[in-house]
A and B are shown apart, each in its own frame.
Chain A
Amino acid sequence: MTSVLRQLFSILIFPGFLFLVVTGLGAEFIDRKLYARLQNRVGPPWFQPLADLIKLLGKEELIPCEANPRMFGIAPIMALSAAVTSFFYIPLWGNSALYSFNGDILVVLYLLTLPTLAFFIGGWYSTSLYARIGSVRSVTQLFAYEVPLFMGILSSALLADTWSLAEMAVFYTKHPWFWVFNLAGFGVSIIALLGKLEKAPFDIPEAETEVVAGGFTEYSGRLFAILRLTIDIEMIVGASLLAAVFLPFGLGLDPVAGFGLYSLKVLSIVCLLALLRTILARMRIDQMISFCWRYLVPIALMQLLANLIIKGLLMR
């Protein structure tokens, strides 16, 4: 009985859903505040993301009469639950995740793809023209960034010779400096993560000057609040994943210091994302795709190759 309660606590409160909501809103705040300060503006106060969320939750929900109400309503919830679920398999501080099995790395990656597909479904079934163009764009973009992201993350797993994130953590604790070999993969994955989070320069699906808000155009009220929360949570999950895969050092520390180090890692990734979106202009969809295939994929392939060779040399 207590173990069930403890599991429920882990899933719903800490380090589960509530923790994700709080950190997600915090990440949104840091992202917005840093973006503003980098642009020489004041930026929002710390409670702004929360206030936005509460305001949206309290607002009237409008569903376009031509939209398919079931699909329209289910898409945000699908996106949110996929993003939250994937978090449970990522080791945060320490060597173990909440749940883990051999192969969970693939599950996490696929679960992280689901929100994008959910945005597509929501956008498509809202039948607005802007939403349709936006959702088609987000799927087009998905095929471009997903490949380098997968290759980057899997190359790190290849070095550790496991398909489980928790076991990867164990491996990298045993070989403390091996993460240095994966830096190129880290770079590729950060850029691919920008695409996944639909942030500039890859905010093409929701480019407001072209397609208003892309797939989110028709969303309002609670459903829109869920969508925004999903993106915030995705940011934390993505940053945690990159931190676990590419920055796996200091995992043996005591929980408090470990938590501090983990927060630091996630924070620096969030700041890096904000910095990147400050200094780059939005790309066009064709440029984005050719950039991903022409630069990111070869670099990720090289990383894979390099890791194979390193493994052959060092693991004999």
Chain B
Amino acid sequence: MKKVEALRDELVKNFSFLDGKIGIPRPRRVFVEVGQDKFEEVFVWAKDKQDFSHLCTITGLDENDRLILIYHLAHDSGVLLNIRTSVPKSDPRIKSIIKYFPGAEIYERELEDLFGAKVEGLPEGNRYPLTDEWPKDEHPLLKDWKPKSA
């Protein structure tokens, strides 16, 4: 069983800038906030060094003028590391993680369709989940998007 406290200490030891940005709301749940510049470093470290071998999903959030992305990584012992990062909505470019998790492709397409994120490094393919006729610049899960009939 992996101890979340030990994980927190490891995180702080390796990435001093994370001190005070780690939350443990309940056993087996760790929330970390990382800037976009350091995100990949922490993410790869968690995957390779700490055996977080399963990506549950990527959650997108619309918070004022920033687009927040939460990468939920799971360890086989049941510990979940939620790495939170954000990009400005005016320039929502993020790097694709499919080279680490090929299964993440569909989650990233979902971010593109529903939040308007620009995922760099995502291969060409069908969009998901919106239809092909859906306007390219409308992203329904953004807070300022309202359905037409309402």
A–B contact (CB under 8 angstroms): no
Mark B residues whose CB is within 8 Å of A.
none
Mark A residues whose CB is within 8 Å of B.
none
